[in-house]
Structure 1
Amino acid sequence: MPEAVPDSGIWLAIHDGSAEISIDRRDARNSLDSRALVGLATALQLVEADVGVHSAVLRSGVEGVFCSGGNYADPDRPGRASVEYAPSLAACFEAWTSRSFPVIALVDGTARAFGTALALTSDLVVASPRASFGLPELSRGVVPSYAIALLRTRHSSQFVREFVLTTEAITARSGFATVSSEPEEVVRAQVARFAAIGVEAVRGAQRLLTAIDATLDLRAAQQLAADGVAEQLRRYDEGRTDQTYLGL
Structure 2
Amino acid sequence: MAFASWERIGDKGTIGKIVLNRPEARNAFNTEMGKQIIDICQQIAKSDIRVVLLTSSSSKAFCSGADLKERNGISEEEFHRHHEIFVEMFNAIADLPQPVIAVVDGYALAGGFELALNCDMILASQNAVFGLPEVTRGIMPGGGGSRLLQRKVAMHIAKEWLFTGKFVMAEEANRAGLLNELTDSSVLYNRAIELAESIEKNAPIAVQNCKSSVNDLHGMIDREAREQENVYYSRCLNTEDRYEGIRAFVEKRSPVFIGK
Q: TM-score, normalised by structure 1?
A: 0.75
How many angstroms apart in 2 are the aligned matches of 1:60 and 1:39?
15
Equivalent residues in 2 for 1:21-170, closer than 5 Å? 21-50=18-47, 52-74=48-70, 79-80=73-74, 82-83=78-79, 84-146=81-143, 147-152=145-150, 154-170=152-168
How many angstroms apart in 2 are the aligned matches of 1:73 and 1:152?
30
**99-108 vs 81-90, greater mean Cα deviation:** 81-90
Look up the SS of the partner of 1:145 in the other structure. coil
Partner of 1:179: 182
Partner of 1:245: none
1:12 aligns with 2:6: yes
Structure 1 stretches of at least 4 aligned residues deviating more than 6 Å after TM superposition:
none
Q: How far off is 1:39 after superposition?
A: 1.4
Q: How far off is 1:72 after superposition?
A: 4.9
Contact 2:93 2:118 in 1 (8 A): no
How many angstroms apart in 1 are the aligned matches of 2:39 and 2:192?
23
Equivalent residues in 2 for 1:158-237, closer than 5 Å? 158-172=156-170, 173-174=174-175, 175-177=177-179, 178-181=181-184, 182-213=187-218, 215=220
Summarize deviations over 1:102-142 as a string: whole Å, max 9, x none: 11111111110011122133212111111110111212222
Q: Which residue identity is paired with 2:211? A: Q
How many angstroms apart in 2 are the aligned matches of 1:162 and 1:8?
36
Q: Which residue identity is paired with 2:162? A: V
How many angstroms apart in 2 are the aligned matches of 1:26 and 1:168?
23
Summarize deviations over 1:76-119 as a string: whole Å, max 9, x none: xx642645312202211332332211111111111100111221
- The number of residue pairs the alignment matches comes to 207
How many angstroms apart in 1 are the aligned matches of 2:62 and 2:119?
13
Q: Which residue identity is paired with 2:25? A: A
Q: Which residue identity is paired with 1:189? A: E
Greater RCO, 1 or 2 (C-alpha within 8 Å, sep 6+): 1
Summarize deviations over 1:204-227 as a string: whole Å, max 9, x none: 2112223224859xxxxxxxxxxx
Rate the CA distance shift 1:41–1:110 in 2: closer, same or farther, 3 A: same
How many angstroms apart in 2 are the aligned matches of 1:160 and 1:194?
29
Partner of 2:242: none
Contact 1:153 1:213 in 2 (8 A): no
How many angstroms apart in 1 are the aligned matches of 2:197 and 2:104?
19
Look up the SS of the partner of 1:32 in the other structure. coil
Partner of 2:250: none
Unpaired stretches in structure 1, ≥5 consecutive residues: 1-6, 217-248
How many angstroms apart in 2 are the aligned matches of 1:208 and 1:45?
21
Q: TM-score, normalised by structure 2?
A: 0.72
Please provide the CA RMSD for this pair.
2.3
Unpaired stretches in structure 2, ≥5 consecutive residues: 222-260
Look up the SS of the partner of 1:87 in the other structure. helix
Summarize deviations over 1:135-186 as a string: whole Å, max 9, x none: 1121222222333244356555423311111111112214121101121221
Contact 1:101 1:207 in 2 (8 A): no
